[in-house]
Amino acid sequence: MSEIVLEFFGAVGEVTGSCTLVHVNGRRVLVDFGLFQGSEDAEIRSLVPPPVDLSTLTAVVVTHAHIDHCGRLGMLPKYGFTGKIYATTGTADLLPRVLRSSARLQRMRFFERTDGTAPWARALMPGEEPGSAPKLPVIERMFEMADSKDCASRIVPVPLGKECQIADDVWIRFWNAGHVVGAASVEIIAGSGAARKSVVFSGDLGSYGSPLLAPPESPRHADIVVIESTNGGRRREPGANPERDIAAVLAEASGDRAKIIVPCFALGRAQQIVHRLSVLRARGELRNFNVYLDSPMAVHGMEALYKHPEYLAPALRSAVEAGEAPLWFPELHYLLSKRESMALDGLVHGGIVIAGSGFMDAGPILRHLEMSVDREDVRVLIGGYQPEGGMAWKLSNGADRMQFNGRIVPVRAKIARVEGLSGHADQDDLMRWLEGFADAPGRVVINHGTDEGRTALATRVRTELGCPVSMPNMGDLITA
Ligand SMILES: [Zn+2]
């Protein structure tokens, strides 16, 4: 009989830092090597590799190109890893750019913080006193550009659904996770016939109702399923209708020919917003707005959807396979450089600017706000989960001023919300994915979620599927 033992080194009781070591018939395979995010402390934790000899790993497998799953891959060369990194063809397309961009950002941030020139911004609630510059620690670089290139040279693209042998008696197979282009669940299979055992990692799962992406696929069997639980305790808001929310802002603002600023993450939300705008354009509801996608990574994400239509919802996939470009419309402009982004500063009216970051804590979105947030004809369209107390949360909850490097700017822009654009499965989607297995899994392991989310999902799995459930802590071992 084959042996599979899982050892957990990240995303246990939290939603970032995904990293699990799989001991499989004497081999060692690392599944995901993601960044811890959300605080300075998390970034410092990311600098410390798991207590594992990375130089002797058999292979690394990556579920998708979000940095909480792949953001530390660039550390591998530094610790002597010379093996292969397996990913879907879609993720393999995105990973080199993600790693290069991460190396560039780390280097820029290191020097800005060393010489005290790091830009900063905060939103101020009514009555809140402006503050001085935050004390930002100088964080060492995890890896350099050369390491990102070394990693890129080790990536092996594997098509969805194809069994790929990664060692003498070990295979992997990717299943579409419906989360972002390239995102997959991965099945690791040890041995064959009576000796066969398998473990499935869900990776991040998407929702079944996405009009942009194909729904998640459930594998057939697994001795252990490791499932994410980002939204393990949440259910989608009933009646949410993002097209209606966006159309309402366009209709209300069109008289002003306003600038509409939309904070987005480059992989996922940005493509969803462009898709919804393409639908509104087809209905004649885009009004006179031009749309500026101000993120080279988001543009690359758009192109990846055309190149890998297997990740698209059926109607869009058919259109792309027929040679059409269903997400494109004449008013859509791709901005690929800082110079093009800065040219938007002079944009007086009539534009929708989609830029990162989605939490509005970094990136070009801050410059767009600094230039425009004091204008009454500007709208800021905020969607999705926002960490409490963060920039977007404060703007959504009545912040009346912003502070940019010490300069105070009044908030006169109107803040609008768009609901129902989460790229993550909710609790019902997670259950549906588990129920889609041909046989109930031997054990369900819940990670990549807060303890509240994990516990809520665990209760449903135990009562509705009757499976044993584990919620690992850092360093825990679980045997199949
Ligand atoms: Zn993700």
- Predicted pLDDT of residue 256: 67
Separation in Å, CA 253 to CA 77, 166, 257, 289, 373: 51, 55, 6, 10, 15
Residue 385 predicted with pLDDT over 80: no
CA–CA separation, 470 and 453 (whole Å): 13
Q: How far is the CA of 272 from the centre of ligand 1 (A)?
A: 14
Strands 407-410 and 401-404: antiparallel
Listed in sequence order, the residues at least 6 apart from 357 whose beta carbon sits closer than 8 Å to its beta carbon are 263, 265, 363, 365
Sign of CA dihedral 284, 285, 290, 294: negative
CA atoms in the 13 A half-sphere facing the CB of 135: 0
Count CB neighbours of 159 within 10 A.
Answer: 12
Cα-to-centroid distance, 14 and ligand 1 (Å): 13
Ligand 1: centre distance to CA 66 (Å) = 5
CA of 2 relative to ligand 1 center, distance in Å: 31
Residue with tokens 């660039």: 74
Note the pLDDT of residue 348. Answer: 63
Given the structure tokens 């190109």, which residue do they identify?
65
Using omega within 30 degrees of 0 as the cis cutoff, is the peptide bond preceding 357 cis?
A: yes
Range name among 68-77, 129-138, 147-156, 180-189 with the lowest pLDDT average: 129-138
- CA 311 → CA 26, 160, 192, 379, distances in Å? 34, 10, 30, 32
Query: Has residue 117 got a pLDDT over 80?
Result: yes
Separation of 71 CA from ligand 1 center, angstroms?
11
Contact 424, 206 (CB under 8 A): yes
E strands, 361-476, where? 378-383, 401-404, 407-410, 414-418, 443-447, 469-470
Read off φ and ψ for residue 396, nearest 5 degrees. Answer: -70, -20
Helix axes 269-282, 242-253, angle to 10 degrees: 70
Q: How much distance in Å is there from the Cα of 248 to the middle of ligand 1?
A: 29
Distance from the CA of 305 to the center of ligand 1, in angstroms?
A: 16
Going from the Cα of 91 to the center of ligand 1, the distance in angstroms, rounded, reads: 12
- Asked if 433 contacts 205 with a C-beta cutoff of 8 angstroms, the reply is yes
Question: What is the pTM for the complete model shown?
Answer: 0.95
Q: Determine what percent of the chain is predicted with pLDDT higher than 70.
A: 99
Q: What is the pLDDT of residue 357?
A: 87
Distance 311 CA to ligand 1 centre (A): 14
CB 228 within 8 A of CB 423: no
Rounded Cα gap, residues 242 and 248, in angstroms: 10
Residues 6+ apart with CB under 8 A from 286: 250, 277, 280, 329, 331
Reported as a single tens digit per residue, the pLDDT across 277-328 is 999 999 999 988 999 999 999 999 999 999 999 999 999 999 999 999 999 9
- pLDDT mean over 201-229: 97
Q: How far is the CA of 474 from the centre of ligand 1 (A)?
A: 20
The alpha carbon of 48 and the centre of ligand 1 are apart by a number of angstroms equal to: 22
Cβ contact 79:49 at 8 Å: yes
Q: What 8-state DSSP symbol labels residue 356?
A: S
Amino acid at 246: I
Cα 16 to ligand 1 centre (Å)? 9
Find the 288 Cα to ligand 1 centroid distance in Å: 33
Give the strand order in the sheet containing 407-410. Answer: 121-124, 401-404, 407-410
Q: Render the burial of 398-435: b for 16+ CB within 10 Å, e for the rest.
A: ebebbbbeeeebebebbbbebebbbbbbbbebbbbbbe
Determine the distance separating the centroid of ligand 1 and the alpha carbon of 457, expressed in angstroms: 19
Ligand 1 centroid to Cα of residue 64, in Å, is 7
Question: Could you tell me the distance, in angstroms and rounded to a whole number, from the CA of residue 193 to the centre of ligand 1?
Answer: 34
Tell me the CA–centroid distance for residue 228 and ligand 1, in Å: 10
- Residues 358-381: what's their mean pLDDT? 91
By CB neighbour count within 10 A (0-12 exposed, 13-18 middle, 19+ buried), where does 63 fall? buried
If you measure from the C-alpha of residue 314 to the centroid of ligand 1, how many angstroms do you get, rounded to a whole number?
22
Distance from Cα 67 to the centre of ligand 1, integer Å: 8
Distance from the alpha carbon of residue 336 to the mean position of ligand 1, in angstroms: 23
Question: What is the whole-number distance in angstroms between the Cα of residue 37 and the centre of ligand 1?
Answer: 13
Distance, CA 31 to ligand 1 centroid (Å)? 14
How far away, in angstroms, is 377 Cα from ligand 1 center? 34
pLDDT at residue 366, as a whole number:
92
Q: How far is the CA of 204 from the centre of ligand 1 (A)?
A: 5
Over residues 318-354, the pLDDT tens digits come to 999 999 999 999 999 999 998 998 888 877 667 999 9
User: What is the structure's pLDDT at 362?
Assistant: 84
Which range, of 117-121, 270-274, 365-369, averages the lowest pLDDT?
Answer: 117-121
Which amino acid makes up residue 412?
Answer: R
Query: How far, in Å, CA of 20 to CA of 186, rounded?
Result: 12
Domains plus CATH for the chain? 4-234+424-479 (3.60.15.10), 242-418 (3.40.50.10890)
Ligand 1 centre distance from Cα of residue 478 (Å)? 24
Closest CA to 479 of 85, 190, 156: 190
How many whole angstroms from 212 Cα to the centroid of ligand 1?
A: 16
Average of pLDDT values for 178-202? Answer: 96
